[in-house]
Structure 1
Amino acid sequence: MNISEVVNAAHEAGVKLIRFEYCDVSGVARTKAVHVAQLEHKLLEGVSLTRAQMSINLLEQMIPIDGFEPIGEIRLVPDPSTFTVLPWAPGSASVLCDQLGHDRLNWGACGRSYLKDMIQRAAGHGIQVQATFENEWYLATEVDGEYIPFDLHDHTPVYSAIGHDLNNDLMIETVDALEAQGIEVEAAINEYGAGQQEISIRHSGALTAADNQMKFRDTVRGVALRRGLLASFAPKPYPDQIGSGAHLHFSLWDLAGKKSLLYDRDAEGGLSKLGRHFIAGVAEHLPALVALTTPSYNSSRRLKPNAWASATTAWGFDNKEAALRVCSPFFQREEQSYNIEFKTSDASANPYLSLGAIIAAGLDGIERELDPGDPSEHDPAYLSAEDLRRGKVRPLPTSMSAALDELEADDFLLGTLGDLLSRCYVGVRRSEAEAFAAESQDFEIRNHFYRF
């Protein structure tokens, strides 16, 4: 859609307020709303935003970082193609934005621009990345300051008809709202945790995949709120329940989108040589990557052995305990359905930064022709020392601070982020790690439960 088409669509839908939305480095979706009467020129010139806004952490504290003082402004410049009327919010619509300087270029700390740059880097290798985020979340009510899972007293069984019946109307409304925004739903299930749900949506180009992740979270939260429920995308909102991931599924294609570069029918498991290099690059940088893909203080509670979330750099064919799972393809759609599931991913991440960094790491593996080692054929927690060595399996950081240490030691990944964005990201996330380390578990849960 172009600007005039967006303006016409907004008027035809009776929209009054249009949210100009972006994602900050803490993974929080933030927005400034514009009245429809101002929409036409704001779609062109953008909305003002102080540079300091990107230095605000998860606890709403502004962190002093050079270049992020409340002096000087940037612009939230929308991508008209992302315009959607919000089915759960009458009279409202949204557009997703790049953060640009007055020269109309990335000012240095725009996550969406970072992903665009990594997409261009991939295109230079003749690669188009297709991706989608597969989200899990908890439904809850708030009673006297406590978050109570929305479930039957004895907990509905996973993948059960009972569980579907309990939330049927809500899930249908959620699916309808996603489809109304052009997001194609593939599956919906009730998950293992009490009140935990999952919806899978169809893959798309990398930028659209990250945009869809923003829209997905907004939609699930908004529809649930209209029904008096909270939808929590926190990685581990209940310490005694299974965690919630936002598993990233991705595949590699030629620039025409016609031929899979990941699939080779004659190779072991169907995985191409280029695909092995890509996996090797992601695994090589994975200890640092988790600071971007599972980045919150709450995230490390999920990354444990035997939790189907991965606690190591292992990869394997249909191995649900591996960080990188090569998914078995479907009958007569082998090339089309062949993909890799990246499990060390959750919804506390800025999707533009997390997906962009994964692409960068994978391309580094291709450029250096890295070898990923042997695929793990069993749960890495039970592999012998020799099997771990052959698979190049290393443990992942067990805390937010340790993950940030790995990121700061990874010159390659920091280099892709650039000076301003890397300093902002590390500074803000360090402040969160220190703040939460000084507080109780209850404080941590309360300040993660409804942020993402």
Structure 2
Amino acid sequence: MTDRPSATKINQPDRHVRRILERAELEGIELIRFMYADHGGVIRGKASSRSRLAERLGSGIGHTVAMMAMNMLDQLQDVEYMGPVGEVRIVPDPSTFVPLPHAPGAAAMLSDLRNPDGTPWEACARTFLKDAVAALADDGYTLLAAFEPEFTLGRRLPDPTGGYDRLIPLDDSLCYAGTGFDTAHDYAIKLIRALETQGLRVEHYHPELGPGQQELSVRHAPALRAADNHVLYRETVRGVAMRMSMWASLAPKPLADQSGNGAHLHLSLWREEQNLFADDSELRECFIGGLLAHLPALTAITCGSVNSFRRLAPRMWSSAYAVYGPDNREAAVRICSPLGESGEPNLELKPSDSSANPYLSLGAVIHAGLDGIRRKLDPGEAVDVDPDTRPGRYQRLPASLDEALDALEADEVLMEALGPLRRSAYLAVKRSEAAAFAAKDAGYELFHHMRVF
């Protein structure tokens, strides 16, 4: 079977192609990874050799359609049009080319999944976000976004009793404590340099609440670039750790009795150079209204794993209720105060973590917010207390992945946005994960999420 579609269908900017080929030659890059995120939230891909790179930039690399029906346990699901028959291409975006400092001799590009004739494939997650961005543009808006991830740094050790491998945190330091900075210093410096080399502008870093827990945030970017950045971030966090004989997990809850790892999503809506969340409080409230109206369904995508729902509990500062409020860190949507005179206000969506596919997650959030603007949805009264102190007053978020998937299936706006093939595959993959982990004990769940994310 050939893996060479009509190159004329896939237009690549010549300047990017020339730059890539020159850099690969000059920097001794032997393998170039074409990366994408699947419905299980796993970052996957294939790599081109340097000798075939010029050709593969146009043709992509052949790939079975079945991979988008694979769950995070590598169990293939029965999804129509995603079986043994059928082919797509992993087609890289040359503007995303970056050398991988944690993998000397390798580089990466973020990629779309396309039909053999070069047209977008209906199950491509990156295309889903592109379409959401286009829908925003049709209404005159652009969105800037940034994921704010946490992760647990430590070492992966075999269980002496023959059970699952264990994640042993690097330290037992306190939140924001100097000992935490010192213990993880060498790793943090290597990570920052690796991210900056790839064009991710690091903003803040600190040791977080749990043992071995780290938080490092990168600067906001246009929506597609923000999702691309999060894929690179996830790969780099783990790659740098592996090169230092450590293990980093971005799983929502890799350790059952410790703090969870979120990837809070920061958002601001713009028109030209104007931050509309700063200058139009009515527009901001309508966007929030859309987020809250669709939040039960959104959690099936922004918190896309069984493990996610261990984190979404009251009084954990991760959000457990569908409420919003100014600088309320127990609210699902926080209106963030600007930092300094030059700071810009933004929204923070707290039920979000790194087990989600970032393209699906951010795309779904855009559709929800845009629905709020178009229908002028009222978010209700802002909440300025911990919502858990007022029992029964506020709507709880789904308590499990299955419950969130039920909400997603009932959400006409998000189901329509996902489209027939993508939604059938996503639901099949996620239902299979919920069933697989329900049949096992907690140790099985924690191990596999620690291993994969």
State the TM-score, normalizing by the size of structure 2.
0.94
Corresponding residue for residue 180 of structure 1? 197
* Corresponding position of 1:300: 309
Structure 2 residue 432 is the aligned partner of structure 1 residue 413: no
Partner of 2:300: 291
Tell me the distance in 2 between the aligned counterparts of 1:135 and 1:60. Answer: 25
Partner of 1:441: 442
1:149 pairs with 164, 168, 182, which one?
168
Q: What corresponds to 1:281 in structure 2?
A: 290
Q: Secondary structure at the match of 2:32?
A: strand
Q: Which stretch shows the higher mean deviation, 137-146 or 81-90?
A: 137-146
The equivalent of 1:424 in structure 2 is 425
Deviations 1:182-237 (A, max 9, x none): 11000110010100001010000000000000000011100000111110011001
Which residue type is aligned with residue 262 of structure 1?
Answer: F
Count residues with an aligned counterpart. Answer: 434
Distance 1:12 1:424 in 2: 42
The Cα shift of 1:343 comes to 0.3
Q: Any stretches of 5+ residues in structure 1 without a counterpart?
A: 265-270
> How far apart are 1:383 and its partner, in Å?
2.5
Q: Does 1:23 align with 2:32?
A: no
Q: 1:57 aligns to what?
A: 71
SS at match of 1:74: strand
Is residue 2:371 matched to residue 1:339? no
Is 1:260 aligned with 2:275? yes
Letter matched to residue 448 of structure 2:
N
1:6-34 Cα distance to aligned partner (Å, 9 max, x none) = 11111111100000110000110001011
Q: Secondary structure at the match of 2:199?
A: coil
Q: For 1:239 and 1:218, how far apart are their aligned partners in 2?
A: 23
Superposition RMSD on alpha carbons, in Å?
A: 1.0
Which whole-Å CA distance do the structure 1 matches of 2:62 and 2:42 have between them?
Answer: 18
Give 2:57's match in structure 1, choosing from 29, 43, 61.
43
Contact 1:140 1:147 in 2 (8 A): no
Name stretches of at least 5 consecutive residues in structure 2 with no aligned partner.
1-14, 160-164
The residue aligned with 2:405 is: 404
Structure 2 match to 1:233? 250
Contact preservation (8 Å) 1:281, 1:370: yes
Offset of residue 450 of structure 1? 2.1
Alpha-carbon offset, residue 117 of structure 1: 0.2
SS in 2 for 1:157: coil
Q: Which residue in 2 is equivalent to 1:96?
A: 110
Offset of 1:329 from its aligned partner? 1.0
Cα distance, 1:249 vs structure 2:
0.5
The equivalent of 2:373 in structure 1 is: 366
Q: Does 1:247 align with 2:264?
A: yes
Equivalents in 2 of 1:144, 1:121: separation in Å?
49
Q: 1:401 & 1:329 partners in 2: Cα distance?
A: 37
- C-alpha separation in 1, matches of 2:351 and 2:150: 13
Aligned residue for 2:47, secondary structure, equals strand
Alpha-carbon shift at residue 276 of structure 1 (Å):
0.4
What's the counterpart of residue 221 of structure 1?
238
State whether residues 310 and 323 of structure 1, in contact with CA within 8 Å, keep that contact through their aligned partners in structure 2.
Answer: yes
1:14 maps to a residue whose letter is G
Q: 1:207 aligns with which of 224, 227, 231?
A: 224
CA separation in 2, counterparts of 1:183 and 1:144?
A: 34
- Kindly state the Cα deviation for residue 162 of structure 1 after the two structures are TM-superposed: 0.9
3-state SS, counterpart of residue 370 of structure 2:
helix
From 194, 197, 201, the counterpart of 2:214: 197
Indicate the residue corresponding to 1:377 in structure 2: 384
Please list every run of at least 4 consecutive aligned residues from structure 1 whose deviation after the TM superposition is greater than 6 angstroms.
none
User: How far apart are 1:384 and its partner, in Å?
Assistant: 6.1
Task: Name the SS for the 2:256 alignment partner.
Answer: coil
- What percentage of aligned pairs have identical amino acids? 46
For 2:219, the aligned partner's letter is R
Q: Counterpart of 1:327?
A: 336
C-alpha distance in 2 between matches for 1:326 and 1:147: 38
| In 1: Cα distance, 2:37 partner to 2:344 partner | 30
Give the Cα–Cα distance (whole angstroms) in 2 for the partners of residues 142 and 219 of structure 1.
17
Give the Cα separation in 2 of the matches to 1:199 and 1:207: 20
Question: For residue 67 of structure 1, what is the aligned residue in structure 2?
Answer: 81
Q: Return the TM-score normalized by structure 1.
A: 0.95
Would you say 1:5 and 2:19 are equivalent positions? Answer: yes
Q: What are the Cα deviations for residues 105-164 of structure 1, in whole angstroms up to 9, with x where unaligned?
A: 221100000000000000111111000000000012122243233334xx1111011110
| Deviations, residues 31-85 of structure 1 (Å, cap 9, x unaligned) | 1011000001101110111000111111101111111011110001110011000
Q: Which residue identity lines up with residue 352 of structure 1 in the other structure? A: Y
Kept in 1: contact 2:42–2:452 (CA 8 A): yes
- Secondary structure of 2:451's counterpart equals coil
Work out the CA distance in 1 between the residues paired with 2:26 and 2:451.
33
> For the residues of structure 2 that align with 1:243 and 1:332, how far apart are their CA atoms?
32
Mapped to 2, the partners of 1:129 and 1:376 lie a distance apart of 25
Q: Tell me the SS of whatever aligns to 2:277.
A: coil
Q: Is the 8 A contact 2:157 2:168 kept in 1?
A: no
Corresponding position of 2:95: 81
Q: Which amino acid aligns with 1:300?
A: F
